[in-house]
């Protein structure tokens, strides 16, 4: 048993009429009172267009036959990789920097010892008393 869709007489009458593309798309209209052009919303709102499309399908009428625009395909959601934690993002770079520092550690310790020895020699008084 197929379920039938109940609709109001106004909705049924709206499906029976023919429409032009002007009814379904936003327009730029010149308003003499304002002295400029303004954006005007479509004469038939997107919600009413969707209702009309559903009613057409329920009655077996082709929606484009009454002037409804084609249904737009939904875009797939963007695939964005998860951001993750900062320590996870910088871990490889940090490990490489630590490995490089460990390779140069002997030279670093040697230069540090020389600098400390020179600093001690400079701070040491020339006279013994």
24 in a structural domain? yes
Q: How many domains does the chain have?
A: 2
Pair 24, 53 in one domain:
yes
Residues 63 and 15 sit within 8 Å (Cβ to Cβ): no
128 in a structural domain? no
The pLDDT value given to residue 6: 86
Residue 65 has what DSSP assignment? G
Pair 60, 90 in one domain:
no
Say whether pTM exceeds 0.85: no
The pLDDT value given to residue 72: 86
The pLDDT value given to residue 120: 92
Rounded to whole angstroms, the Cα distance separating 42 from 21 reads 10
Radius of gyration of the chain from Cα atoms?
A: 39
- Identify the segments of the chain with pLDDT beneath 50: 1
Pair 57, 99 in one domain:
no
Rounded to whole angstroms, the Cα distance separating 51 from 126 reads 100
The pLDDT value given to residue 3: 65
């Amino acid at each position: 048993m197929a379920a039938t869709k109940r609709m109001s007489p106004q909705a049924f009458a709206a499906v029976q009429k023919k429409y032009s593309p002007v009814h379904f798309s936003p327009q730029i209209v010149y308003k003499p009172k304002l002295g400029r052009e303004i954006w005007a919303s479509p004469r038939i709102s997107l919600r009413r267009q969707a209702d009309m499309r559903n009613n057409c399908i329920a009655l077996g009428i082709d929606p484009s036959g009454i002037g409804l625009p084609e249904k737009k395909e939904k875009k797939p959601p963007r695939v964005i990789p998860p951001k993750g934690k900062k320590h996870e993002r910088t871990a490889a770079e940090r490990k490489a920097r630590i490995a490089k520092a460990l390779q140069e550690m002997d030279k670093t310790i040697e230069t540090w010892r020389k600098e400390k020895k020179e600093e001690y020699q400079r701070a040491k008084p020339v006279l013994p008393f």
